[in-house]
Amino acid sequence: MDSFQKKFIEEATDLINNLELAVLALEQDVKNQELIAEVFRIMHSLKGGGGMFGFEDISHFTHNLETIYDEVRNGNLPVTEDLLSVTFSSVDHLRNLLNQDALNNEHIKKNHEILLERVKAILQKKDTLQVVADEEQVEEDSKSKLQTIYIYFAPNESIMDNGTNPLYLIDELCSLGTNSLVFPRTNKIPMLSRFNSSKCYTAWEVFMVSDVNLNEIQDVFIFVEDESEIEVKKIADFDVLANENFIEKIQNLYQKKNHFDPAVIKSLVKDIANQKKSVVANVNEKLKVFTKENIISSIRVSSDKIDQLMNLVSELVTTQASLSLYVEENQVYELNLLAENIENITRQLRDTAFSISLIPIETMLTRFHRLIRDLSTEFNKNIEFITEGAETELDKTLIQGLTDPLMHIIRNSVDHGIEPEDERIKKGKTPQGMIYFKAFYSGANVVIKIQDDGRGIDLEKVKQKAIDKEIIASDAKLSEREILDLIFIPGFSTAKNVTDVSGRGVGMDVVKRKIDEIRGSVELESKENIGTTITIKLPLTLSIIDGLLVVIGDTKYVMPLNLVNKIYAYEHETFKNAFNNIVIVDGEQIPFYYLRDEFEIPGTPLEVEQLVLVKYEDKKIGLVVDNVVGEYQAVLKPLGKLYKNHEIISGATILGDGTIALVLDTNKIINEFSFKN
Amino acid sequence: MAKTILIVDDSESIREVVSFTLENAGYNVIIATDGTDALPHFDGKEIDLLLTDLHMPNMNGIELIREVRKIDAYKRIPILFLTTESQRDKKVEAKEAGATGWIIKPFVPAKLLAAINKVMR
């Protein structure tokens, strides 16, 4: 596949996502002209792009849909339930069609034909069907006579010999317009050795918006027209420079090629003319969502490149640690300053590189909106999906790992949680159920909460099921919390019947495992008839952590610094004589784990040892180590598959002197050792 | 600092109109009646623009332009000449001699300033 097609697929994927958003919004507000225009515009772009890059099926498929939405736009067709349903199905089908061989698949082909028929049926309902307006016919804003003019000015090399300053001419030219963009064409400038400062090597290309006639513009160059190449031509009957997209595009073109290809400019202008055609005056809030995208200046980078950058930054962090260590050992004053500087810059570089690979949770939400819409239609339930904190950003690998578990949780909420309308009314609840999605930062974590106001989890039922499945003994006395935790145990599922949605053999145990894989934790709370809340806590990133470097015996360990509360020094006797592994710290009873023993490290303990207080849920727990070295930025490397079952170690990191330190997962350590004891 | 313009014309009325207009626009103005009278002004002093008529006794405008362009210090100053619509070939000759641009007689003050503005700021 050539790179243009790849580019088209990327673009089309965005377009289809936007289409889905727009149709979802349109469903709520079927008269909204902005949204109708947006849907039309997307259909139009898909059709055009599809034809150009060899996706004939897409082009063919969107043709009639485009016509329909054009009719809707002109008020000749209403937005009906049927139309929305066809459009939703088309969104999915379009995604399939991005694979060029899609129609070789029987199933997809059948679907394709059915959808085409349905689209045709809608069109035929309208007797006075008109053909889509010719692309060339752009509705002009009759009030403004502004036009966009392209000027090319290439002066003779010796133009400055007779006292002409070409820059003055450019200035004068720009003064004739309301807005202008000037691009110097610099490709004729020779190397410095052959450069003659009295010669003019530059040519200029100017895009100008103005209401003056072309002769007046030509007059600017009156003194130099004989010895210069001058081209003045109108490229549009409207203000093209008002379109940020255009500006961005020509700036990109300029950076790539240093000059403009008239054909490319023409097609760009045509695109805008088409967009302009579909833009209607009243701007409401929903549209702002779409325009916002155009304003943000951003570039696409392949995720491989970002991974590569992250890897390099990781290496840099490791190398920088070596440097710091060397400086510390050798005490060279000048080098010390440099090393500190590099440390500072590395830290900033690390943070910037991180922020690049962060993407907002928003990117997942459309899928959830859609899921809830489809499921509520299927189960005939009335559900409102409320989201908060969609702008919260997460590492892209985390988002990838998170989508499936979240989909599953939401499916559960719709299927098992929210009751049908009549049942809700009987219970005295609002007829419309609610699923509330909230994401927010909490320290070095991101927390995602999914809450529903459904029937909640029946604890008795869960307990009974666990007894039936022999997960617990029939006389086990469990707290509410412990019963809820049963749900996460592999092989547990409360659904009575296997439905299409949940209960496909993927239970909450898989959700938990998947979230564990990305070093997150999941918690479940539920009140009968009030609802269920699932809280997922995730680290901001996976690859580099700020850690505390500690030593036990000959081995070095890193603890996540964000979990470390305080560090105390105690004599070994204190721990040896402690009753029930509890020490009194600042008048508080603190349970502790003596890591030298827990890790079974041989050797004689030191006389004075360090007690590191770490946060565990809402408690403080002590971990006893020999020595604390200091803060350390640890680049987390996986241990490899042989060690993947050692949950208490989340990875390893290479220290400045080349030795290896193990990165401890303190939560898991406390979990594991508290069960053992 | 105000820019200095040298006006060369054998017609007193033209000189007056031009210098009045330019002085009002904030320029320093020096006056000469023909080429031979004008040339001694190019002795190294600051002259930012030369505005000359073409038809003059003693040394005409085209000769003056050629002489001025021979002096290093004034090789690149803008030079405007006054001409009439009919003298098309004179324009070419003057440009070849090194003139930057022209002003067509008769002119209104605004046209004069606009032409100067084209070549000097």
Structure confidence at residue A233 (pLDDT): 87
- For CA atoms A73, A75, A77, A80, give the dihedral sign: positive
* Superfamily of B4-119 according to CATH: Response regulator (3.40.50.2300)
CB-based contacts of A20, cutoff 8 Å, min separation 6: A88, A91, A366, A370
Q: Are A18 and A42 in contact (CB under 8 A)?
A: yes
Structure confidence at residue A7 (pLDDT): 73
Q: Phi and psi dihedrals of A650, rounded to 5?
A: -90, -10
A130 pLDDT above the threshold of 60: no
CB-based contacts of B92, cutoff 8 Å, min separation 6: A226
DSSP state of A129: -
B119/A163 Cβ within 8 A = yes
Structure confidence at residue A296 (pLDDT): 52
Q: Which residue has the higher pLDDT, A629 or A225?
A: A629
Q: Which residues of chain A does B116 touch, with a Cβ-Cβ cutoff of 8 Å?
A: none
Closest residue to B76, CB basis, from A163, A168, A226: A163
Q: Which residue has the higher pLDDT, A541 or A296?
A: A541
A128 pLDDT above the threshold of 70: no
- Selection from A258, A219, A217, A224 nearest residue A156 by Cα: A224
CA–CA gap between residue B71 and residue B57 (Å, rounded)? 22
Q: Which of residues 11-40 of B touch A (CB under 8 A)?
A: none
Taking the Cβ of residue B117 and every Cβ of chain A, the question of whether any pair is shorter than 8 Å is answered with: yes
Query: Environment class of residue A523 by beta-carbon count within 10 Å: exposed (0-12), middle (13-18) or buried (19+)?
Result: middle
CA–CA gap between residue A201 and residue A185 (Å, rounded)? 9
- Selection from A163, A257, A87 nearest residue B102 by Cα: A163
A523 pLDDT above the threshold of 50: yes
Quote the mean pLDDT of chain A: 81
Looking at chain A, the whole-number percentage of residues with pLDDT higher than 90 is 8
Structure confidence at residue A217 (pLDDT): 87
The model's pLDDT over A70-110, given as tens digits with 9 standing for 90+, comes to 888 888 888 888 888 888 888 888 888 888 777 788 888 88
Q: How far is A228 from chain B (nearest CA, A)?
A: 13
Looking at chain A, the whole-number percentage of residues with pLDDT higher than 70 is 89
Q: Which residues pair with B50 in a beta bridge?
A: B6, B79
- Domain locations in chain B? 4-119
B98/A165 Cβ within 8 A = no
Q: What does the pLDDT average to over A386-390?
A: 88
Please report which confidence band the pLDDT of residue A507 belongs to, taking 50, 70 and 90 as the band edges: confident
Q: Which residues of chain A does B117 touch, with a Cβ-Cβ cutoff of 8 Å?
A: 168, 172
The model's pLDDT over B30-56, given as tens digits with 9 standing for 90+, comes to 999 999 999 999 998 899 999 998 888
Tokens, residue A175: 């003064």
Structure confidence at residue A197 (pLDDT): 84
Reported ipTM: the value is: 0.84
Please report which confidence band the pLDDT of residue A260 belongs to, taking 50, 70 and 90 as the band edges: confident
- Selection from A366, A307, A315, A341 nearest residue A541 by Cα: A307
Tokens, residue A124: 């035929």
**Helix B61-70 × helix B88-97 angle, to 10°:** 20
- For CA atoms A634, A640, A643, A644, give the dihedral sign: positive
The model's pLDDT over A363-376, given as tens digits with 9 standing for 90+, comes to 888 888 888 888 88
Q: Are A389 and A438 in contact (CB under 8 A)?
A: yes
Closest residue to B118, CB basis, from A161, A162, A168: A168
Domains of chain A as residue ranges with CATH: 3-132 (1.20.120.160), 147-280 (3.30.70), 303-357 (1.10.287), 359-539 (3.30.565.10), 544-676 (2.40.50.180)
Q: How many CA atoms lie within 13 A of A497 on its CB side?
A: 3
Residue type, A427: K
Q: What does the pLDDT average to over A124-135?
A: 46
The model's pLDDT over B75-110, given as tens digits with 9 standing for 90+, comes to 889 999 988 766 677 888 888 899 998 888 777 888
Q: Which residues of chain B does A162 touch, with a Cβ-Cβ cutoff of 8 Å?
A: 79, 95, 98-100
CA–CA gap between residue B120 and residue A647 (Å, rounded)? 77
The model's pLDDT over A338-361, given as tens digits with 9 standing for 90+, comes to 888 898 898 888 888 878 878 888
The CA distances from residue A84 to A30, A65, A134, A229, in Å, are: 9, 11, 26, 55
Q: How far is A173 from chain B (nearest CA, A)?
A: 10
Query: Environment class of residue A560 by beta-carbon count within 10 Å: exposed (0-12), middle (13-18) or buried (19+)?
Result: buried
The model's pLDDT over A22-71, given as tens digits with 9 standing for 90+, comes to 888 888 888 888 888 888 888 887 877 777 677 888 888 888 888 888 88
A172/B118 Cβ within 8 A = yes
Closest residue to B101, CB basis, from A160, A198, A223: A223
* Nearest residue of chain B to residue A159 (CA atoms): B100
Q: Which of residues 166-185 of A touch B (CB under 8 A)?
A: 168-169, 171-172
CA–CA gap between residue A271 and residue A236 (Å, rounded)? 11
Tell me, letter by letter, the H, E, C secondary structure of A633-673.
EEECECCCHHHCCCCCEEEEEECCCCCEEEEECHHHHHHHH
DSSP state of A415: I
Q: Which of B91, B104, B117, B118 to mutate to test the interface with A (most CBs of A within 10 A)?
A: B118
Q: What is the DSSP string of A498-559?
A: --SSS-SS--HHHHHHHHHHTT-EEEEEEETTTEEEEEEEEES-SSEEEEEEEEETTEEEEE
| SS3 call for A153 | strand
Structure confidence at residue A4 (pLDDT): 67
CA–CA gap between residue A445 and residue A541 (Å, rounded)? 9
Structure confidence at residue A506 (pLDDT): 55
Please report which confidence band the pLDDT of residue A448 belongs to, taking 50, 70 and 90 as the band edges: very high
**Pairing assessment for the beta strands A627-635 and A544-552 based on DSSP bridges:** antiparallel
Q: Which residue has the higher pLDDT, B53 or A260?
A: B53
Please report which confidence band the pLDDT of residue A443 belongs to, taking 50, 70 and 90 as the band edges: low
Q: Are A436 and A388 in contact (CB under 8 A)?
A: yes
Q: Which residues of chain B does A163 touch, with a Cβ-Cβ cutoff of 8 Å?
A: 76-79, 98-100, 119
Residue A450: other Cβ atoms inside 10 A? 21
Structure confidence at residue A285 (pLDDT): 46
Residue B23: other Cβ atoms inside 10 A? 13
The model's pLDDT over A590-626, given as tens digits with 9 standing for 90+, comes to 999 999 988 888 888 889 999 999 988 778 899 999 9
CB-based contacts of B82, cutoff 8 Å, min separation 6: B9, B14, B51, B52, B53, B54, B61, B102, B103, B105
Q: How far is A260 from chain B (nearest CA, A)?
A: 27
**Pairing assessment for the beta strands A383-388 and A229-236 based on DSSP bridges:** unpaired
CA–CA gap between residue A190 and residue A349 (Å, rounded)? 37
Structure confidence at residue B51 (pLDDT): 94
Q: How far is A179 from chain B (nearest CA, A)?
A: 20
Q: Are A462 and A483 in contact (CB under 8 A)?
A: yes
- Element at A191 (helix H, strand E): none
Structure confidence at residue A541 (pLDDT): 66
CB-based contacts of B31, cutoff 8 Å, min separation 6: B6, B7, B8, B15, B19
Closest residue to A163, CB basis, from B79, B102, B121: B79
Structure confidence at residue A134 (pLDDT): 36
Query: Environment class of residue A639 by beta-carbon count within 10 Å: exposed (0-12), middle (13-18) or buried (19+)?
Result: middle
Q: What is the DSSP string of A284-346?
A: -HHHHHHHHHHHS------HHHHHHHHHHHHHHHHHHHHHHHHHHHH--HHHHHHHHHHHHHH
Structure confidence at residue A504 (pLDDT): 44
Q: Are A135 and A270 in contact (CB under 8 A)?
A: yes
